[in-house]
Amino acid sequence: MVIINNTSFITNSINVLPKILSSVFTKLVVAVIIVLIGLVLGKILGKFVQKALHEIELNKIIKKAAGIKASVEEIISTSLSYFIYFIFIVMALNQLGITTVVLHMISGAILIIIIISILLSIKDFMPNMFAGLFIHQKRFIKEGDILKVDNTEGKVVHINLVETKIETKHGDIIYIPNSLLTKKTVVKLKKKRLS
């Protein structure tokens, strides 16, 4: 009796397998067609929008208004194309039934990229800011002092939280990060030596 039940289970599984495979294959084909339509539509609409913006001479208008030379026409049309690509890819993923998983993975990756970008952007700012606070608190460097840091010699013109502005005897302006002033040997020279 047990052998008959096992064989009937195997027979039922074999009979159901083509139905499952045909369903998955159909979903896959429809998803590929959706992506291809999205690629074509995105490309066509992107070119159309770029031509329309070029007709109204958007780049020239922005250059006159803001004084900025930028290819806004291309940026807008490319952004539209990528937005359409994204929408059609989401539709294809939805057809396959994996939209939420992939969107969670994409949003997680974007979040990681944003966090890494923020950390990399403040890696130099934070030490300079703390050094600037230290310099302002201790007041061992003041505007008007004549300093020699490494091979650079000049008069301190301005000190802010991030950098110190020094003018050399030749009139050159040098910006020295405050963290460098706390790490390197700074020699305070007498006032008459620079002039």
Q: Is the pTM of this model over 0.85?
A: no
Of 122, 143, 175, which residue sits at a domain end?
A: 122
> Does the residue 38 lie in any domain?
yes
Residue 150 and residue 75 share a domain: no
Sequence letter at residue 92: A
Q: How far is CA 128 from the centre of its chain?
A: 23
Residue 93 and residue 22 share a domain: yes
Is the distance from CB of 38 to CB of 88 less than 8 angstroms? yes
Residue 105 and residue 181 share a domain: no
Residue 102 and residue 7 share a domain: yes
CATH of the domain at 85: 1.10.287
Query: How far is Cα 25 from Cα 38, in angstroms, rounded to an integer?
Result: 20
Model pLDDT, residue 40: 95
- What integer is the mean pLDDT of 169-179? 90
Residue 157 and residue 97 share a domain: no
Residue 182 and residue 86 share a domain: no
Residue 111 and residue 144 share a domain: no
Sequence letter at residue 97: G
Q: What share of the chain is helix, strand, coil (3-state, %, to 5)?
A: 70, 15, 15
pLDDT of 3 above 60: no
User: In this prediction, what percent of the chain has a pLDDT beyond 70?
Assistant: 87
> Does the residue 128 lie in any domain?
no
In terms of residue numbers, what domain contains 29? 2-122
Of 122, 142, 177, which residue sits at a domain end?
A: 122
Query: How far is Cα 42 from Cα 14, in angstroms, rounded to an integer?
Result: 42
pLDDT of 59 above 80: yes
With cut-offs at 50, 70 and 90, classify the pLDDT of residue 82. Answer: very high
CATH of the domain at 148: 2.30.30.60
Sequence letter at residue 138: K
Is the distance from CB of 10 to CB of 79 less than 8 angstroms? no
What count of other Cβ atoms lies within 10 Å of the Cβ of residue 4? 8
